[in-house]
Amino acid sequence: MSDEVYGRVVDGDTGQPVEDASVAIVGGPGPAPDIAALTDADGRFALSGLGPGRWSVRVHGPDGSEGEVEVMLPRRYEVEIAVHTEMSTPEQD
Amino acid sequence: MNDDEFVDTITADPPSSGGATQQSRKRNAASAPALPKTLQAPLDESLETSEVEGDAVGFETGMEAVGLHDEVSAELGAEGGEEFAEASYAQLAMGETGEESAVSDLESVEGFERIEAGEGESGPTGSASEALPDAGAALREGGAETQQEEFLPFLAALVPTLASSVGPVVAKGVMSRLKPRTRKLIKNRLKQSKPGAAAAGVGSVLDTLIKLLGSRENEPVNESVGEVDQALVEQAATAMEVIIGKDDRVRLTNTTAVPWRRVCALRITFPSGKTYRGTGFFIGKRVLATAGHCVYLHDQGGWARRVEVIPGMNGASKPYGSAFAVSLRSVGGWVQGRKPESDYGCIVLPPNAFSGKNLGWFGLGVFSNVVLLAKTAVLAGYPGDKPFAELWGMARKIKAATPKTLVYDIDTMGGQSGSGVYIKHNGQRKVVGIHNYGALSGNSATRVTKPVFERLVAWSKL
């Protein structure tokens, strides 16, 4: 039996959906297919072929933003993952 | 009925050609009547196909003929009675001698570090090619010294927090924020640590932290504990990544060179409308091998509706353009049986793809455990934690084998499904596995066994 992580990726600052973000499983109770989902224009994705348990899902946005959540399967509602871009300025003496 | 007796071919043509699905079933040669002794190959002989270079820089044509080596006898087969086989510590620690290693393909790549014989590889309890530097060594490395020196006092101050009542919450938070490779490094280090042994000097801080993280992460959370400072957790995870999480993958940018031009980024759309990224590699002039779930996904409507193939993609550059699949193939073990060990398939391109250029293809090889275990393999593909689409590669020894799968500690990410796992044998690159699953215990590939080999060779001639 296979379960699925499905959901939506949004920009953590604006709340807007992020298209073309890569979503992949990075940890869990067992093996996972090493395929990555690409979000659509609504930020939606689905990753299937998973068993029950707690899975770590990581997102990489096309602009370098990142986000990660843990999802317990089976799950009957979509997960929302917010991505953030790290920003910093160099230290000035 | 034993699935190993039969090698199913299930094909699908894209909707534009009518979308017909055909299934044929062919009896595996392994179950055929035994050949006369004069036609049986020696027991130790392996099955291989030749690697083909492809067109030179000036795109001159001139393909070499590809042929099969003699068949092995029916008694020899990875499925025949072998169970799980693991490389020994001594095998993993030994340097490869006598023939060129596949790792030579990465040695000229910027950022690549070769692990010498005797260091970096450990036994079955964990791979010390994932060895953690002691904090002192980390501080001595150039480039990141200032940053690591800055983090170390913070990490030292974290020790009492982890030892306190909020320790489980902090440990869970830190571990969940670490990259998969860093988490694996910590878990492997915990397996290798000996009771009572303590590193000297600054290394003891890192060792203590690792032990606390590992032990407290699995403890239940005390409900009476208040909220934990998330900024502290974030900073701790960042510090651990700086000091521990060295990424051994290297980016491959010379993607018009052999063998990288044979590796293709895939953009795959299924009937559900969902799109995915994967990897494939040439096994014939117009045919790629890939993971079965890159062409058929049970929960997304079955056969992919569209597969874009981009050979040698390098960032935004498509040096050979792109082409769309005209036909997809897989096997009954995946399409009907959903078996991970049968999770492989192929993509057929139109004859005029890439303006008729011959990009060459990988050889294929069936080898015994004696040959494969502790052999350095290279895996190059398009990981999903990098922009679409950058080609990244890594080399590690094959650490374990089952009759139908290979297991290794080569770091992979979603998007690398379908990458070839190849070794060098007699100077030629031979794919011995098709990467398809990631796991903390070791990533794995469908092993190229005799039926897999025969199926791939048949497809390569399409």
pLDDT tens by residue, B120-149: 333 333 333 333 444 333 333 334 445 556
Which tokens go with A42? 């609504």
Is residue B417 part of the annotated active site? The answer reads yes
* Residue of A30, A35, A64 lying closest to B439 (CB–CB): A30
Is residue B367 exposed (0-12), middle (13-18) or buried (19+ Cβ within 10 Å)?
buried
Catalytic residue among B122, B342, B417, B419: B417
Contact call for B277 and A48, based on CB within 8 A = no
- Give the Å distances, CA to CA, from A85 to A63, B105, B147: 8, 34, 21
For residue A73, the cross-strand partners are A53
- Edge-first strand order for the sheet with A3-11 is A44-50, A3-11, A79-83
ipTM: 0.92
B415 contacts on A by Cβ (under 8 Å): 22, 24, 34-36
Closest by CA position to B419, among listed B383, B388, B454: B383
Cβ contact B176–A70 (<8 Å): yes
Angstrom distance (rounded) from CA A86 to CA B173: 19
Q: Which amino acid is at B100?
A: E
Q: Examine the residue annotation and report whether B435 is marked as an active-site residue of this protein.
A: no
Chain B: closest CA distance from residue A31 (Å)? 5
Tens of pLDDT along chain A (93 residues) come to 468 899 999 999 999 999 999 999 988 888 999 999 999 999 999 999 999 998 989 999 998 899 989 899 988 778 999 998 766 676 666
Using CA atoms, how far apart are residues B28 and B74, in angstroms rounded to an integer?
Answer: 10
Share of chain B above pLDDT 70, in %: 66
| Cut 0.90: pTM above it | no
CA distance A2 to chain B (A): 8
Chain B residues with CB under 8 Å of A26 CB are: 179-180, 413-414, 438
Q: Given this model, what pLDDT does residue B101 score?
A: 86
Residue of B371, B452, B362 whose CA lies nearest to B405: B452
Question: Which residues of B are less than 8 Å from A68 in CB distance?
Answer: 176-177
Residue count (chain B): 462
Question: pLDDT tens digits, residue range B18-66?
Answer: 444 444 444 333 444 443 333 333 334 478 888 877 765 332 233 232 2
How far does B167 lie from chain A, in Å, by closest CA? 20
